[in-house]
Amino acid sequence: MSLYLFNTLTGGKEKFVPAEPGLVRMYVCGPTTYNYIHLGNARPLVVFDSLRRYLEYRGYAVFYVQNFTDIDDKIIHRAREEGVPAEVLAARYIREFFVDADALNVRRASLYPRVSHHIEDIIRAVEDLIRRGYAYAAKGDVYFAVDKFPAYGRLSRRQPEEMMAGARVEIGEDKRNPLDFALWKKARPGEPAWDSPWGLGRPGWHIECSTMALKYLGPSFDIHGGGADLIFPHHENEIAQAEALTGKPFARFWLHNGFITVNQEKMSKSKGNFFLLREILGRFRPQAVRLYLLGTHYRSPLDFADEYLEEAERGYDRLVNARVVLAEALAASGGGDREGVGGPAGEGATPAALELRERVRSLRSKLEAALDDDFNTAHALGVLYELVREINTFVNRGEKGPGTAEALAEAASVLDDLGEGVLGLFGGARQEADGGLVAGLVELILSIRQDARQRKDWATADYLRDRLKELGIILEDTPHGVRWRIRRG
């Protein structure tokens, strides 16, 4: 099978083959660091982290760049409100970004360039655009001349009249054309500023990403990603700037995730339906939030409501319980360390073990096929739940005998390789911290209950079971020992 991705630039699915065999170069627009990230920021964070993981699963090396916009009007305004320098505010929210990203089990990018660290690169790029006739200086500002780039609009498929309808010239601007956009902004009193050939000022938003992507990924790279809200004008402007500089195609594949909506309306501050990820992580487990974000195809709108996250909590419990069941069954079958299992089935394996292995292999192929089809994580999760049913059915029948350990190990490898390795559902900093504490306390209580059962102190054993149930922890006595889970919803 081959991986096919929907390319916004061409408007269709295309077979993905990197320009350089074995290496994928990928750039994803990062956050503007003036606040905690919101749920809309979290979606591309998780989607493109998972895509990067799948590319690596398919055997590619991935050089993944995600920027921080640490100079921006929003940052300056917020810093003034708090009475701190803009760079101090930005640094604070970069640190907080990693707290949330770690909680969601997002692996670190290869590189996180910051705008403030690339001012000289940006100034050189702007100078070059002026020399090439694509930009002009006007009283300390510098603008890109859109009419000099005939292909402008091809990413968003907007006609000039459509773009012109939303364009305007602000007071104090000296644009030749309302569609022209700022590459460099002259300094205003009290704002951070850098010296340049046009006087003190700072970069425009769009030139930042173009400059950093070109610096670290070269004139043409494989994948550029971000939210659908960035298609116009940000990504449209990135293409114009970069291709005007190099004369070469900028990114070969443009991938965009859909909006997050609330009651089918786009999430936004102006509508009062804006949610910080930090607030959501205070009410739901990070792994369930990640599951929710991957539960809808990345290009489709994703509606937000507590009930959807509660459903994700229950789905996550099913996946975790399947891993527990597998670990216990593997230990009972003598394959607890999984060393030496998972190879070709030996002669004499039971029909049930052979059937499970064949079913697991079929489900792995089915899961890969879902991800190969424009990275359809929603379909892939459905296949993962099919695997959970197979595991539970096999274990609940009490199947034993030759080949059992190998079959169970194969099922466990799919959960590990794709459930965690690609979809990233079983890790995360907060799980290790908070979940580890809860698990330790429950195991301590279970050991006390087991002592009571061995002494035939049924009253104490039942009391501990009932009290745990009141707290939402359900016990199940099985032939392999006591199994527990947290009740959700």
3-state secondary structure 48-116: HHHHHHHHHHCCCEEEEEECEECCCHHHHHHHHHHCCCHHHHHHHHHHHHHHHHHHCCCCCCCECCEHH
Q: Whole-angstrom Cα distance, residue 30 to residue 230?
A: 11
List the strands of the sheet with 23-28, edge to edge.
61-66, 23-28, 221-227, 251-257
Please choose, from the candidates 153, 52, 68, 167, the residue with its C-alpha nearest in 3D space to the C-alpha of residue 424: 52
Do 56 and 101 belong together in one domain?
yes
Decide if 264 is inside a domain.
no
Nearest 10 degrees: CA dihedral of 396, 402, 405, 409?
Answer: -100
Q: Whole-angstrom Cα distance, residue 202 to residue 240?
A: 20
Do 390 and 466 belong together in one domain?
no
Do 331 and 398 belong together in one domain?
yes
Tell how far CA 145 is from the center of its chain.
Answer: 35
Q: What integer is the mean pLDDT of 438-466?
A: 81
Position 433 scores a pLDDT of 40
Q: Which residues pair with 266 in a beta bridge?
A: 261
Q: Whole-angstrom Cα distance, residue 18 to residue 223?
A: 9
Decide if 268 is inside a domain.
no
CB 223 within 8 A of CB 253: yes
Do 384 and 456 belong together in one domain?
no
Do 378 and 473 belong together in one domain?
no
On the question of pLDDT at 145 being above 80, the answer is yes
Decide if 195 is inside a domain.
no
CB 102 within 8 A of CB 428: yes
Do 36 and 96 belong together in one domain?
yes
Q: Number of folded domains in the chain?
A: 3
Question: Domain range holding 406?
Answer: 306-420
Decide if 35 is inside a domain.
yes
Please choose, from the candidates 16, 11, 10, the residue with its C-alpha nearest in 3D space to the C-alpha of residue 373: 16
Do 461 and 379 belong together in one domain?
no
Position 281 scores a pLDDT of 92
Residue linked to tokens 């006739």: 133
Do 215 and 107 belong together in one domain?
yes
Residue linked to tokens 């990403």: 209
Do 317 and 381 belong together in one domain?
yes
pLDDT in tens, 207-228: 999 999 999 999 999 999 999 9
Q: Whole-angstrom Cα distance, residue 146 to residue 178?
A: 9
Position 467 scores a pLDDT of 87
* Cα dihedral 33, 38, 42, 43 sign: negative
**Percentage of the chain surpassing pLDDT 90?**
74
Least confident of 232-241, 275-284, 331-340: 331-340
Query: pLDDT class for 204, splitting at 50, 70, 90?
Result: very high
**Percentage of the chain surpassing pLDDT 70?**
90
Please choose, from the candidates 387, 414, 18, the residue with its C-alpha nearest in 3D space to the C-alpha of residue 223: 18
Query: What mean pLDDT is reported for the chain?
Result: 90
Q: What integer is the mean pLDDT of 52-67?
A: 97
Decide if 464 is inside a domain.
yes
CB 278 within 8 A of CB 36: yes
pLDDT in tens, 248-291: 999 999 999 999 998 777 776 666 667 899 999 999 999 999 99
CB 318 within 8 A of CB 288: no
Tell how far CA 185 is from the center of its chain.
Answer: 32
Position 428 scores a pLDDT of 63
Report, in this order, helix, strand and coil percent for the chain, each rounded to 5.
50, 15, 35
Residue linked to tokens 């300056």: 76
Decide if 267 is inside a domain.
no
> Furthest-apart CA pair in the chain: how many Å?
89
Question: 301-333 burial, b for 16+ CB within 10 Å, e for fewer?
Answer: ebebeeeebbbbbebbbebbbbbebbebbbebb
pTM for this predicted structure: 0.86
Position 438 scores a pLDDT of 63
On the question of pLDDT at 52 being above 70, the answer is yes
Q: 373, 392, 420: which is the final residue of a domain?
A: 420
Q: Which position has the higher pLDDT, 62 or 171?
A: 62
Query: pLDDT class for 470, splitting at 50, 70, 90?
Result: confident
Residue linked to tokens 């059937």: 355
Position 216 scores a pLDDT of 97
Q: Whole-angstrom Cα distance, residue 471 to residue 469?
A: 5
Q: Whole-angstrom Cα distance, residue 85 to residue 409?
A: 55
Alpha helices (runs of H) in 218-261, residue ranges in sequence order:
236-246
Least confident of 30-39, 213-222, 406-415, 459-468: 459-468
Q: Find the CATH number of the domain harbouring 10.
A: 3.40.50.620
Q: Which position has the higher pLDDT, 202 or 453?
A: 202
